[in-house]
Homo-oligomer: A and B are copies of this chain.
Amino acid sequence: MFKFSTCNFRPNPIFLQPRASLDVQMEEIVTGHCTKVARNLHMERLRNHYLFPEISARELEHIKKYPNEKVIRLGIGNTTEPIPEVITLAMSDFTRALSTPEGYRGYGAEQGNMELRKAIVKTFYGDLPVKDTEVFVSDGSQCDISRLQAYIDSSVIIGQAGGFEDETGKYQNIVYMKCGPQNHFFPDLSNTLRTDVIFFCSPNNPTGHAASREQLEQLVEFAKENGSIIVYDSAYAAYITDESPQSIYEIPGAIEVAIEISSFSKIAGFTGVRLGWTVVPDELLFSNGFPVIHDFNRIVCSCFNGASNVAQAGGLACLSPEGAKAMLSVVDYYKENANILAESFASLGLNVYGGVNAPYLWVHCPGLRSWDVFNEILEKTHIITVPGSGFGPGGEEFIRVTTFGHRETILEASTRLKSLVLV
């Protein structure tokens, strides 16, 4: 499911949609008033929300068992380092100006402040054929991904994903591509079924792999041949160290088949500030010739009133020369964390993927089950990771390790890991 997953590009998440034929399993006995409004029973089919709650539950249990040990959390990928002052000063100045007649701003454009859209094009797309009018500023990539139905959950909620099969751990209507070391983290496209939408995340979460130029050329070609739309998630592009493309639009022809979604969260530490963007090229058309950008614009205007203007002021500061330099120094800090942790896992004789182009390590523990490895690491080192199987059936035998963290925490984790013996 991870790395390369495809799903039908269909309606957005639902709140309610009756499907009376499905079974309902009540989670608890509740009291209240039964309306006559039917529940959307597709909600029953959601699975992966058990992952992080399950991890939290095991952490709590662990803390009870070892009340004096300090747990180190390398699970959820949450940024930890302060935002550089050049960026927060700009946000602070903007908010203070909101108290003046000259500086006050009410509604902005739903698509975002044009100055910011221009700066995004200049910084991230340079000479590539991306126009400022094709950039839609968002409150983070998750929201736009959901508007585009590109994640599994959105498809499940609307009923497009089909039933969940316990035996395979897969939804019926989603095409899963197993990507791992055996295929250089890229699927064999000659064996891949056609879908309307191809969701592709590079550098990838959880594997940390960045697709090569050649792989992306194949992908664009595949989408073109099949008449598919690629939804390309490049939220970790700033972490790329080698010559892998940082944008899908570096591939000729991609503007005709790809939407790109990105975010300030992991570059600028904006996970809580909330800011991202989506590029929908003019050249991308539905089968009837209608431009996708027109409908996306309409969805944005109907369902979203624009990102917070304070966050947008911060984003603009991020893209100033000083801001960009400061941002990248934080990225470098996390990359050094990645080096430290990768070296620690490698010292155990394990194959470590990712980390070079992404803030995640994808650690292979051949022959072991992900949850067992998770449990053993927690038991022996008091470190929280994420079992790879939580990301999909192809993640078995792996664990994901985030490299966001204060340096002293990462060094302490490294020390603990080096004394670990996995059985």
Contacts and interface: CB of A to CB of B under 8 A. Distances in A.
A291 B32 contact: yes
A229 B147 contact: no
A305 B257 contact: no
A196 to B, nearest CB: 5
Interface stretch (A33-41, A60-68, A362-370): A33-41
Interface string A142-157: 1100111101011001
A215 B234 CA distance: 52
A105 B15 contact: no
A229 B284 CA distance: 39
Nearest to A302: B153
B81 A295 contact: no
A18 B247 CA distance: 29
Interface stretch (A84-92, A237-245, A344-352): A84-92
A26 B289 contact: yes
A133 interface: no
How many A residues are at the interface, by size bracket? Answer: 35 or more
Contacts of A46: 298, 302
A308 B31 CA distance: 34
A214 B296 CA distance: 42
Nearest to A12: B12
A307 B274 contact: yes
A193 B3 CA distance: 49
A76 interface: yes
Given A26-B289, A37-B229, A143 B303 contact: yes
A23 to B, nearest CB: 10
B15 A305 contact: no
Given A299-B157, A302-B157, A273 B98 contact: yes
A29 to B, nearest CB: 9
A95 to B, nearest CB: 4
B272 A95 contact: no
A146 B108 CA distance: 19
A37 B228 contact: yes
A290 interface: yes
Contacts of A404: 106
A220 B13 CA distance: 28
Contacts of A306: 272, 274
Contacts of A311: 308, 310
Given A10-B16, A146-B304, 10 more contacts: A10-B14, A12-B12, A80-B104, A88-B96, A106-B271, A106-B404, A157-B299, A272-B308, A272-B309, A274-B305
Interchain residue pairs A-B with the least CB separation, the first 4: A36-B227, A33-B256, A32-B283, A11-B14
Interface of A: 9-17, 24, 26-27, 30-40, 43, 46, 49, 76, 78-85, 87-89, 91-92, 95-96, 98-101, 103-108, 139-140, 142-143, 146-149, 151, 153-154, 157-158, 196-197, 223-224, 226-229, 256-257, 269, 271-274, 281-291, 294-296, 298-299, 301-311, 314, 404, 406
11 contacts: A11-B15, A13-B303, A15-B147, A15-B295, A27-B294, A34-B288, A35-B286, A95-B95, A107-B271, A143-B305, A274-B305
